[in-house]
Amino acid sequence: MSHLSYEESIKAVYRGLVLLGVVTLVEVFISLLAKGHIIKGAEHYTVVIYLAGLIIAGLSLYKAYFIVYDFMHMRYEVKGLALSVLLPTLLLVWAIIAFFQEGNSWKERRNQIRDKNTEEVDGKSQVGMSLREDVYVMPEWEG
Partner 1 sequence: MATAETVLEHGVHEHDGTDSWSGGKEPFKASYGKLMMWYFLLSDAFTFAGFLIAYGALRFSSNTWPVPDFVFSTAPFGIHHAPLIFVTIMSFLLIISSVTMVRAVQEGHRENKNGVVFWMLLTVLGGLGFLSCQAWEWTNLISGEHMSVTVNPFGSHIQDGVYIDNEHGHPYKEGETPETFKAGSSYLIHKHLDEATGHQEWIQRKVKYSDGTMGVTEFGPAAFGALFFFITGFHGFHVLSGVVFLLIIAVNAGSGLYVARRNGYEMVEKIGLYWHFVDLVWVFVFLVFYLL
What is the rounded CA–CA span in Å between residue 128 and residue 36?
Answer: 54
**Which one of residues 40, 88, 119, 133 is an interface residue with partner 1 (CB under 8 A)?**
88
| 47, 95, 121, 135: which one binds partner 1 (CB under 8 A) | 95
Site for partner 1 in 44-63 (CB under 8 A): 44, 53, 56-57, 60, 63
Quick check: 84 binds partner 1 (CB under 8 A)? Answer: yes
Residues listed for the chain = 143
Q: Would you say 24 or 126 has its CB closer to partner 1?
A: 24
Q: Which is nearer to partner 1, 25 or 137 (CB)?
A: 25
Site for partner 1 in 12-41 (CB under 8 A): 13-14, 16-17, 20-21, 24-25, 27-28, 31-32, 35, 37
Nearer Cβ to partner 1, position 79 or 124? 79
Min. distance of Cβ 88 from partner 1 in angstroms?
Answer: 6
72 phi/psi in degrees, rounded to 5: -95, 5
Helix-strand-coil split of the chain, %, nearest 5: 75, 0, 25
State the nearest-atom distance from the C-beta of 117 to partner 1, in Å: 15
Cα–Cα distance list, 113 to 9, 37, 109, 119 (Å): 61, 37, 6, 10
**DSSP three-state, residue 40:** coil
Give CA–CA dist 38/50, Å, rounded: 17
